Amino acid sequence: MPPWVFAGTDGSAVSAADMRGRATVILFLTTYDTASQIAAARFDRCIHSLSRRTNAIAVAMEPPDHAILVSTFHDSLKLSYPILMPDPATLVGQGPFGAIGVVPTWVVLDAYGRETWRGVGVRALPELGDAVSRLAEGGESRTHGCS
């Protein structure tokens, strides 16, 4: 997968290099979509039941001028993982993750940054937990509290 860098609403940056060495879950969402709001809250509960070796971030598929809305969304839901802003290519479906046509969309990357699983919608949370635990536990599937 090509390298990527997403900006935090506070001006920080998170890159593919920052995530290397651990499984990473990326939640693509929007702040104005009810399913994204539900997914963001459930994902926050879910990540605490996953392996400690798992990174968690979200990317708000919204234009840069929505950064204050994204920050408010994050703070209102009291999320423990960062929500980042997409780069211009990702926003129009030409970034390293391809087109994100539906939100919420979940992407799991292995410790080397390779995509190993993709799911869509809130109903994909149980599968997400299984996909991450397979990576973290060397192929064993064990259900975690992602539902």
> What residue ranges do the domains of the chain occupy?
5-136
Tell me how far apart the alpha carbons of residues 89 and 6 are, in angstroms, rounded to a whole number. Answer: 11
Condensed to tens digits (0 to 9), the pLDDT of residues 35-49 reads 999 999 999 998 888
Place of tokens 């149980």: 126
Position 17 pLDDT exceeds 80: yes
Q: Average per-residue pLDDT in the chain?
A: 90
20-44 average pLDDT score: 95
With residue 107 as reference, give the H or E element that holds it.
strand 105-109
Range 5-136: architecture per CATH = 3-Layer(aba) Sandwich (3.40)
Question: 35 — phi, psi (to 5°)?
Answer: -60, -35
Strand pairing report for 83-85 and 105-109: unpaired
Q: Which residues are CB-contacts of 12 (< 8 A; sequence separation ≥ 6)? A: none
Q: Which residues of 51-63 are buried (b: 16+ CB within 10 A; e: fewer)?
A: eeebbbbbbbbbe
Q: Note the pTM of the prediction, 2 decimals.
A: 0.92
